[in-house]
């Protein structure tokens, strides 16, 4: 465990061992912090990401630094992060401090220039985000908000919204997400067990209908009517 402590020099194997420990420790820390730290990256998450990366980088580039201090510091910071998230869930004032309320950028088809400056974004960026939402005209927007995570949420005026089944008085159907049974030539038994079907049924359907083996299938899903949809590997 000499590589774990500060050294005058490290061998290649010791550098590798340091990298492996740091990698798995960082994965563990991220897992403890939860998916929010990855997906949203708000003020608290951004500060944590930069700090943790900086702390773990030093012992990976300087043999004169041991890993013990960095790992203890990271552990304390992760605990503080979890406490901060818990407080934000319980205390609204603290939540508003680290996650500011959304800022209106467009209201009733009018751009709010003062809020653009407050959010520190340009008109070009605003128009770019609207184009990503397939919105051509600012006048069609009823409300656009600058969210705390840096994204823009847009809501169109009613006449420009896509009609729904309810608007067209169509009989609604219950939502069903197709179940993935095969991925990249392998059966997903966890998903298969959620259905009433067996592995023999799946193999029989592939052979009888598509003349395929499991290894030949890139993706296979089943819908609510037990229809099997199969995507083969592309022929090289």
Query: Which position has the higher pLDDT, 49 or 213?
Result: 213
Q: What is the pLDDT, as a whole number, of residue 151?
A: 84
% of the chain beyond a pLDDT of 70: 90
Domains present along the chain, CATH in parentheses? 2-95 (no CATH), 103-160 (3.30.240.20), 179-232 (3.30.240.20)
Name the phi and psi angles at 187, rounded to 5.
-75, 135
Chain segment 220-230, per-residue pLDDT in tens: 999 888 889 99
Cα(64)–Cα(84) distance, integer angstroms: 33
Average pLDDT (166-185) is 84
Burial 110-134, CB ≥16 within 10 A → b, else e: ebeeebbeebebeeeebeebbeeee
Chain segment 26-41, per-residue pLDDT in tens: 777 777 766 554 555 6
Confidence tier at 127 by pLDDT (50, 70, 90): very high
Cα(130)–Cα(138) distance, integer angstroms: 8
Residue 235 has pLDDT above 70, yes or no: no
Estimate to the nearest angstrom the gap between the alpha carbon of 55 and the chain centroid.
Answer: 24
Report how far apart, in Å, the C-alpha atoms of 165 and of each of 86, 170, 176 are. Answer: 40, 5, 16
Chain segment 177-222, per-residue pLDDT in tens: 899 999 999 999 999 998 888 999 999 999 888 889 998 999 999 9
**139: closest CA among 148, 121, 127, 128?**
127
Most confident of 19-23, 129-133, 146-150: 129-133
Sheet strand arrangement including 228-232: 186-187, 179-183, 217-222, 228-232
Q: What is the pLDDT, as a whole number, of residue 110?
A: 94
């Amino acid at each position: 465990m000499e590589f774990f402590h500060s050294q005058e020099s490290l061998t290649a194997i010791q550098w590798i061992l340091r990298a492996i420990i740091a990698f798995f420790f960082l994965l563990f820390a991220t897992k403890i912090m939860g998916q929010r730290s990855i997906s949203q990256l708000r003020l608290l998450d951004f500060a944590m990401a930069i700090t943790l990366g900086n702390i773990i980088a030093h012992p990976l580039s300087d043999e004169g630094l041991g890993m013990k201090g960095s790992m203890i510091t990271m552990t304390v910071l992760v605990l503080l992060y979890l406490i901060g998230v818990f407080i934000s869930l319980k205390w609204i004032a603290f939540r508003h401090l680290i996650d500011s309320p959304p800022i209106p950028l467009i209201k009733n088809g009018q751009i709010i220039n003062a809020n653009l400056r407050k959010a520190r974004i340009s008109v070009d960026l605003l128009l770019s985000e609207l184009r990503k939402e397939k919105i051509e005209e600012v006048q069609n927007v009823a409300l656009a908000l600058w969210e705390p995570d840096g994204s823009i949420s847009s809501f169109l005026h009613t006449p420009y919204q896509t009609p729904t089944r309810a608007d067209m008085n169509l009989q609604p159907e219950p939502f069903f997400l197709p179940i993935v049974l095969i991925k990249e030539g392998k059966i997903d038994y966890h998903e298969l067990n959620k259905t009433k079907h067996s592995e023999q049924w799946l193999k029989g359907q592939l052979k009888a209908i598509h003349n395929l083996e499991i290894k030949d299938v890139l993706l296979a899903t089943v819908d609510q009517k037990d229809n099997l949809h199969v995507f083969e590997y592309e022929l090289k």
